Chain A
Amino acid sequence: MIETEGLWKSFRGRKATVEAVRGVDLSVQEGEVFGFLGPNGAGKTTTLRILATLVPPDKGRATVAGIDLRRSAGQVRRNIGYVAQAGGTWDQVSAREELILQARLFGIHKGEARRRATDAIEAFELTDFADRHCKTYSGGQRRRVDIALGVLHRPKVLFLDEPTAGLDPQSRAHVWAEVRRLRADGMTVFVTTHYMDEADALCDRVAIIDQGTIVAEGSPDELKREIAGDVVTLGVNGAAEKATDLLRTEPYVRRVEPADAMLVPARPNSPAATQLRLYVDEGGTAIPQILRLLEGAGLHLASIELHRPSLDDVFLEKTGRSLREVGD
């Protein structure tokens, strides 16, 4: 449904040229929810905007819904829906008016546009507020209106830019439900997100972009399996430096990182760290060895915790940063 090959885009700023997207290759299948993850400035939104015909790429090839993006952007527009993070409704009009106008901008005639607006109001449960001015809506209500606007013309592909950023948990769940419903109708959904649990719960496949290139692509389970082994979190009570030095040379430990200072991976020995994150081959056999080693060196552990790798661990491994923290 979406194929890209060597997408490239740089922006010339006042001081330097920023290469936002540097050779992105993607393949999104029909009918899947595809998650696009990456820290801020990784090229996530630029890639989305290229695919949504808003920014022409400098180099590379892309087809969306089987149509060449660079040759027939106009045709692509008829087959995609796009929901920006900022939304796109005017304060002094109602959702119903925006929906009717949106349908008409796609060349749908008046009667049909009204009918579709009414259908969308029902399907997205907007009835209670559809005739009030948009400025009165809550964040969750506004977001549902935005998504309804994006799919009114029944596109083959829907692009969602951070659809749940800043929403309360209930509204997030509501948006997830809408996305699942759209997928059940056969729509392909391309979604960027900062939330790992969102990507895990919602997406059939994800790609991680960092510094303008794709560093990982696959289903959440595949990616988690890629970091074979387990993650052990140790409470080290400020003795992070010593514990790191001890553990680093052990054969069953693959990597040691401070778990609560993930934004500064360049300083793994940060004395401020109270928790360490260990990537180990096999948690069950590693824990007794860790305990023996640290106790033997006179270090007292506050806690020890074993868990299967999450998408956040995948992200951390691939980019060296935690998405949870760079998210906001």
Chain B
Amino acid sequence: MYKLGRDSWLVFARQMGLLLRSPAWVFVGIMQPLFFLLLFGPLLKSIPGIGGNPYRFFIPGLLIQLSIFSGLFVGFSLIAELRLGIIERMRVTPVSRLALLIGRAASTVLLLLVQGILLVVVALPFGLTVQIGPLLLTLALLALIALGFSSVSYAIALWLKSEDALAPLLNLLSLPLLLLAGVFLPMDRGPRWLLRLSQFNPFKWATDASRALFAGHPGDPSVWKALIILGAVAVIGVTWAARSFARAVR
């Protein structure tokens, strides 16, 4: 256990160091939700069913989108590391296989949390309100999504081993997940079949929970449901990725 923690820390520290060295990506990661906030948010004012302030509807969804994307696309960096032989070099060391995953996933989660908090802070002048307790619960939810999806992304990357195969698959996966999560528009205004379909999407629950939390209803059933569902997704993702990391070498 000590070894796992220590090895995870080593991998995490390396990943954070690499991240800070390519600040362009951190910048893009923060700018994208800001563009949505500034260039898309104002359009929502005229949409019915959103309530008084569109940002209270939109920001919680935007946070979910941010966490899906920050998790899903980490597989690309892993493929680059595979190609450069870095993963292989580490596999021949006694480093814990699980630590290779945990350290990487943890750096993704930390980056996401920083981006998420930044987005919330920027949105406050637009009329967004939130209490500290529900905000922390939301962040926990985001962390679960990033953990689960970065793991899934790593597992797929280890399986495909090629950017050319990974990119279309992730695009295919991410768009319906995102649309069916009701990030941009309220799902319950649409046709019944679409709403039904969206209920099979774990992120629909995450979006609902995030909105309930920002509205100040931490007791809303969507909150504990989302935590359980996304906790399960995270467990499945981490297990799958951990097995992938360990498979080639025992």
Residues of A within 8 A of B (CB): 52-56, 73-74, 77-78, 80-82, 84, 86-93, 97, 101-102, 104-107, 149, 153
Contact = CB atoms under 8 A, between A and B. Distances in A.
Given A87-B84, A90-B18, A90-B81, A54 B91 contact: yes
A88 B89 contact: yes
Given A93-B17, A104-B10, A54 B89 contact: no
Contacts of A81: 92
B15 to A, nearest CB: 11
A40 B105 CA distance: 38
B248 interface: yes
B120 interface: no
Interface residues of B, number: 24
A298 to B, nearest CB: 59
B92 A54 contact: yes
B248 A54 contact: yes
Given A54-B249, A55-B248, A84 B10 contact: no
Contacts of A153: 93
Nearest to B93: A105
Contacts of B88: 54, 82, 84, 86, 88
A137 B224 CA distance: 53
Q: Is the interface of B mostly helix, strand, loop or mixed?
A: helix
Nearest to B87: A88
Contact of A74 (B7, B10, B94): B94
B176 interface: no
B83 interface: yes
Given A54-B91, A54-B92, A102-B93, A88 B250 contact: no
B93 A77 contact: yes
Nearest to B81: A90
Interface string B13-40: 0100110011000000000000000000
Interface in B27-56: none
Nearest to A55: B248
A149 B10 contact: no
B95 interface: yes
Contacts of A80: 92
A105 B85 contact: no
15 contacts: A54-B248, A54-B249, A73-B249, A77-B93, A78-B94, A82-B92, A86-B88, A88-B86, A90-B86, A92-B22, A93-B17, A93-B18, A104-B10, A105-B94, A106-B93
